[in-house]
Amino acid sequence: MDETLAKKLRILADAAKYDASCASSAAPKRAAGKDGLGSTTGAGICHAYTPDGRCVSLLKILLTNWCLFDCAYCINRRSSNVRRAKFTVEEVVNLTLNFYRRNYIEGLFLSSGIIKSPDHTMELLTRVAKSLRRDHGFAGYIHLKSIPEASPWLIEEAGLYADRLSINVELPTEASLERLAPEKDGAAIQNAMAQIGERIVEAKAEKRRFSPAGHSTQVIVGADATTDEALIRKSAHLYGSVGLKRVYYSAFSPIPDGSAILPPKPPPLQREHRLYQADWLLRYYQFTPDEVADASEDGMLALDIDPKLAWALKHREKFPVDVNKADREWLLRVPGLGARAVDKIITARRHATLRLDDVARLTSGLKRARPFLVAADHRPVGLTDRLDLRARLVEPATQLSLF
Amino acid sequence: MQDGAVVATLQEAALPSPDSLRGPPSPAEGRGNARAPQSILLRPGADLTGFRDAARRLIAEGVPPEAVAWAVTDSPGLFGTETAQAPAAPLALPKPVAALIPQVIPHRDPERYGLLYALIWRVCHGERHLMEVGSDPLVHRLHRMAKAIGRDLHKMHAFLRFRRAEDATGEHFVAWFEPDHHILEAAAPFFVARFRGMRWSILTPEGSARWDTETLTYGPPGDRASLPEGDGFEAGWQTYYESTFNPARTNLKAMRAEMPKKYWHNMPETAAIPALVRAAAGRTDAMIEREPTLPTRREPARAVAAMADQDPKTLEALNAIIKRTEPLVPGATQAVLGEGPVGATVAFVGEQPGDQEDRQGRPFVGPAGQLLSRAMAEAGIDRGASYLTNAVKHFKFEERGKRRIHQKPTAGEVSHYRWWLDRELDFVAPKLVVALGATAVLALTGKAVPITRARGPFRFDRFEDRVQGFITVHPSYLLRLPDEAKEEAYAAFVDDLRRVEALGRELAA
């Protein structure tokens, strides 16, 4: 690997790191054919962690950070003075294969600034994926960032080679999009996501390959005044309308050479964390967006407690819940009990009456769960109603702070 | 597992302790008798075979867990051929139990065999559903051990780093890794599945694994010093690691939780961590405090304007794109484009090209096309003045001997090609669109509509009221009918086309 390539890698990895998604999961299990390279495991693998605590799973780079768009939150906007570089298709293929062979990565996450036109750029991205698959028999994970402004037939083609396609919503409202990302078009984003969603469903039914690991999006948190409630409602809408696998929330991060129309300070990282928890409640805990809204104050989730606990504290009359009798739906509402713990409780209680010690062996969140639970030898008399319950359950504030 | 792993009940000759000299109890002796524990010797590491054989025999002989002492030895003298006994019959265990055993065996905890045997014993003695009781202390402990193995395996798959070496026979990749448990053999298949075409070796302090692109072999412990030097890609990987780190989000606790320090010395990228962390706060402050700058480059106004102008402007431009795009289902010789004048009053949309169309690269030239031409002529439609195209642009077929048998496109394939049909019809701008058969209707409406019921004039929502629609059968349908029905169906088809002709004439006026 020569110095020029290393220099490009430095610039184009730096330019790509603001995308939060790094998942290498959900692809159908594959193994390399004879003389082939690459496999997918289903759950994905994080091959390293950087000091920001985030996982390095895929080689996350841009094909180029030259860009004709001028999105205020983006380090690569055309008016930014950042250093620019452009990989050739062959360079990206070569880097991916060589990193993969040394077991550094699960595959490639390729995105790009818009050069010449959205179609031209999309064609280049697809050429990389196609070359990896066709010319090199590469069976590892490929995530392509699709360009919603590209012609629909190009998205059709990209899905044939990628495990995952994603299109970033970036900003939750049309007004913010207009103000901060003038070249982007909310309707085009929605249409392209709908197209991908439809095609994934059809291909699954017809046992063909089209973005088999689903599609996802990213929304930036804290670059505008959108509330948590609005963000969660937007996500719920996207999960329902276009069948998204994941919404990634990315706390707006200060960037070198930031734009003057952005807030000077980033939002607390804890906000992003709470949004993920709320998102989880939607997808795995049968919460409705209204219930998430109910767990927040003035549309914002509490930073010091998780949204499930916040909801439970507001609805103390529904608790305590009996671990030995309650429906799954209600066990899922107990703070501290995860979906897996709930399933284990339900299986175990068929054969045994559960005491508090037993529950402790089934979940690691007993401390939070205790005031909301009844077990064979435990009843939280009065505890559920204590006024200082919230204070007793607050997490130490240092958890995700900067230092 | 190592082949030939042997379970030994301790045999007289090898035993130092007189208590243990008792031979295995007969089943009749039963359990509960107060007697010295029976010792089982297993090989070091993850001796699944040895454990399985012993467990089968112990259960068959009714030996309770408290009467077994499990021990590990690598002294080969204790595994004489004299210990080979007739293997006991396999145990029928519930799936979750059978699945758990190999997940716990690699654990380094010396109690693992005893715990697993206690589980098997209880499962075989009235607690068939024991695995479902996750709250049971034994089950809980075994689950935690299995989880530790899962984590160790996962970290080995994740954090192992290969280095490339080259010798006379070609390239070879070598890694050194120090797992917490005895997992080399459990971890190796992952690397085979992933790096099948590469020659590689994985060295650990307990043993090594080697893959030559065909066979996996295990060997003696490796030596870290025998690793080749890192190359330019290793340096490149460090560059990548440094660049993908966002200093504004520094969170060492999260990093260490997932990537504990004990792994670092075998991961080249971690050398960068101290410097990254030292500089992080300063870099973040600098970003926040720096005043926004003015762009130094001039605004690329023309490029920005040109960027939005990417759509094909003519039917030829669109056709060029269709032509250079590969078929969704591989096999077709070429894309078959629409044919006829732009501005034609009537456009006919068929299903997909057939064998003849695929060879000649023109629509409706095979048997069905010829039938269509004949019917059009009878109905007074000038084929040359009409536009003819297909919903799907590539021939899909199944090969039977020398023949290529047409296969109907799936709904997904129709959607895949729909964008082009849309644009194509926009360019041609006909006044009347005739859908020939169900696939064409599907392409134009997005849903399945029964042809027999919808036959005749039809409103395709997508055109609003700008373009009239008409539905009839596909001519290939006529070819497939039995002879006695053909004539009548053909006449009805020609009738339809007469109505199309009349409608077209009316619209053209």
Q: Is residue B44 helix, strand or coil? A: coil
Closest CA to B222 of B208, B212, B233: B208
Residues in chain B closer than 8 A to A33 (CB atoms): 196
**Which residue in B132, B174, B237 has the most chain A C-beta atoms within 10 A of its own C-beta, making it the best mutation to test that interface?**
B237
Please, which residues 103-142 of chain B have a Cβ atom closer than 8 Å to chain A? 129, 132-137, 140
What is the separation of C-alpha A305 from the centre of its chain, rounded to a whole number of angstroms? 21
Separation CA B221–CA B207 (nearest Å):
4
Inter-chain touch B249–A269, beta carbons under 8 Å = yes
Inter-chain touch B243–A14, beta carbons under 8 Å = yes
Set out the domains of chain B in order of their start, with CATH numbers: 3-154 (no CATH), 160-226 (no CATH), 232-284 (no CATH), 300-508 (3.40.470.10)
Inter-chain touch A31–B196, beta carbons under 8 Å = yes
Q: Is residue A371 helix, strand or coil? A: helix
Determine how β-strand B346-350 pairs with β-strand B432-436.
parallel
Closest CA to A184 of A166, A164, A195, A170: A170
Residue type at position B474: H
HEC string of B420-477 equals HHHHHHHHHCCCEEEEEHHHHHHHHHCCCCCHHHHCEEECCHHHCCCCEEEEECCHHH
Residues in chain A closer than 8 A to B246 (CB atoms): 17-18, 50, 52, 54, 253
What is the separation of C-alpha B479 from the centre of its chain, rounded to a whole number of angstroms? 42
Q: What is the pLDDT of residue B31?
A: 47
Residues in chain A closer than 8 A to B136 (CB atoms): 348, 352
User: How many other CB atoms are there within 10 angstroms of residue A105's CB atom?
Assistant: 26
Q: Is residue A229 helix, strand or coil? A: helix
Separation CA A70–CA B300 (nearest Å):
11
**Which residue in A3, A50, A68 has the most chain B C-beta atoms within 10 A of its own C-beta, making it the best mutation to test that interface?**
A50
Inter-chain touch A5–B277, beta carbons under 8 Å = no
Predicted ipTM? 0.93
Reading the block at residue A161, the tokens are: 């080679």
Residue A250 bridge partners (DSSP): A220
- B436 within 8 A of B472, measured Cβ to Cβ: yes
pLDDT in tens, A49-102: 999 999 999 999 999 999 999 999 899 999 999 999 999 999 999 999 999 999
- Name the residue facing B157 among A5, A45, A352 (closest C-beta): A45
Output the CA angle A58-A59-A63, nearest 5 degrees.
130
With CA atoms as reference, the chain B residue closest to A357 would be B135
At residue A146, φ and ψ (nearest 5 deg) are: -90, 155
Determine how β-strand B163-167 pairs with β-strand B68-72.
unpaired
- B256 within 8 A of A29, measured Cβ to Cβ: no
Please, which residues 219-278 of chain B have a Cβ atom closer than 8 Å to chain A? 231-237, 239-255, 257-259, 267, 269-270, 273, 276-277
Residue A28, preceding bond cis, omega within 30 degrees?
Answer: no
Inter-chain touch B236–A118, beta carbons under 8 Å = no
Q: What is the pLDDT of residue B153?
A: 98
Inter-chain touch A403–B250, beta carbons under 8 Å = yes
Residue with tokens 């409780």: A345
Q: What is the dihedral of CA A330, A334, A337, A339, to 10 degrees?
A: 30
- Name the residue facing B246 among A49, A101, A253 (closest C-beta): A253
Q: What is the dihedral of CA A363, A364, A367, A369, to 10 degrees?
A: -30
Report yes or no: B279 at the A interface, CB cutoff 8 Å: no
- B414 within 8 A of B329, measured Cβ to Cβ: no
Q: Helix B95-104 crosses helix B137-159 at what angle (to 10 degrees)?
A: 60
Q: What is the pLDDT of residue B17?
A: 37
Q: What is the pLDDT of residue B15?
A: 32
- Name the residue facing A266 among B173, B248, B420 (closest C-beta): B248
Report yes or no: B151 at the A interface, CB cutoff 8 Å: no
At residue B167, φ and ψ (nearest 5 deg) are: -135, -170
Closest CA to A81 of B290, B288, B293: B293
DSSP B182: S
- Name the residue facing B233 among A1, A36, A348 (closest C-beta): A1
Q: What is the pLDDT of residue B9?
A: 32
- A9 within 8 A of B240, measured Cβ to Cβ: yes
Q: What is the pLDDT of residue B432?
A: 97
Output the CA angle A286-A290-A296, nearest 5 degrees.
105
User: How many other CB atoms are there within 10 angstroms of residue B170's CB atom?
Assistant: 8
Closest CA to A106 of A166, A167, A26, A50: A26
Q: What is the pLDDT of residue B43?
A: 93
With CA atoms as reference, the chain A residue closest to B264 would be A48
Output the CA angle B335-B338-B341, nearest 5 degrees.
150
With CA atoms as reference, the chain B residue closest to A57 would be B158
Inter-chain touch A160–B328, beta carbons under 8 Å = yes
**pLDDT mean over A302-306:** 94
- Name the residue facing B249 among A33, A52, A256 (closest C-beta): A52
DSSP A300: B
Per-block mean pLDDT, blocks of 10 residues, chain B (509 long)? 35 34 41 69 94 95 95 68 65 95 97 97 96 96 98 98 93 97 97 97 97 96 94 96 94 95 96 95 86 83 90 96 95 97 98 97 97 97 98 96 94 95 97 97 93 93 91 96 93 98 94
Distance from CA of A258 to the nearest CA of B (A): 6
Separation CA B117–CA B61 (nearest Å):
13
**pLDDT mean over A212-222:** 94
Size of interface A-B (CB pairs under 8 A): 271
Inter-chain touch A39–B190, beta carbons under 8 Å = yes
**pLDDT mean over A254-277:** 86
Residues in chain A closer than 8 A to B237 (CB atoms): 99, 102, 104
pLDDT of A380 strictly over 90: no
Reading the block at residue A226, the tokens are: 């959108």
Separation CA A193–CA A169 (nearest Å):
9
Percentage helix, strand, coil for chain A under 3-state DSSP, each rounded to 5:
40, 10, 45
What is the radius of gyration, based on Cα positions, of chain A?
Answer: 23
Q: What is the pLDDT of residue A388?
A: 77
Instruction: Quote the strand ranges of A54-117, DSSP E.
Output: 55-56, 58-62, 107-111
Distance from CA of B232 to the nearest CA of A (A): 5
Residue with tokens 């075994």: B142
What is the radius of gyration, based on Cα positions, of chain B?
Answer: 38
User: How many other CB atoms are there within 10 angstroms of residue B199's CB atom?
Assistant: 18
- Name the residue facing B303 among A13, A68, A256 (closest C-beta): A68
Q: What is the pLDDT of residue A366?
A: 93
Separation CA B486–CA B503 (nearest Å):
26
Reading the block at residue B172, the tokens are: 């070879």
Q: What is the pLDDT of residue B96?
A: 96
pLDDT in tens, A338-356: 999 999 999 999 999 999 9
Q: Give the helix ranges, DSSP H, for A162-315.
A: 174-180, 186-205, 228-242, 269-284, 289-294, 307-314
Closest CA to B469 of B440, B489, B490, B492: B440
- B226 within 8 A of B242, measured Cβ to Cβ: no
Distance from CA of B478 to the nearest CA of A (A): 28
Q: What is the pLDDT of residue A385?
A: 65
Q: Which H helix or E strand runs over B122? A: helix B112-124
- Name the residue facing B241 among A48, A152, A354 (closest C-beta): A48
With CA atoms as reference, the chain A residue closest to B322 would be A153
The secondary structure of B206-267 as a DSSP string is S-EEEE-SS-EEEES---GGGPPPP-HHHHHHHHHHHHH--GGG--HHHHHHHS-GGGGGG-
Separation CA A162–CA A133 (nearest Å):
9
Determine how β-strand B8-9 pairs with β-strand B38-42.
antiparallel
- Name the residue facing A198 among B241, B258, B415 (closest C-beta): B415
Closest CA to B346 of B505, B207, B140: B505
Inter-chain touch A199–B194, beta carbons under 8 Å = no
Reading the block at residue A320, the tokens are: 């305590």
- Name the residue facing B233 among A47, A98, A255 (closest C-beta): A98
Separation CA B200–CA B102 (nearest Å):
25
Separation CA A234–CA B265 (nearest Å):
44
Inter-chain touch B190–A202, beta carbons under 8 Å = no
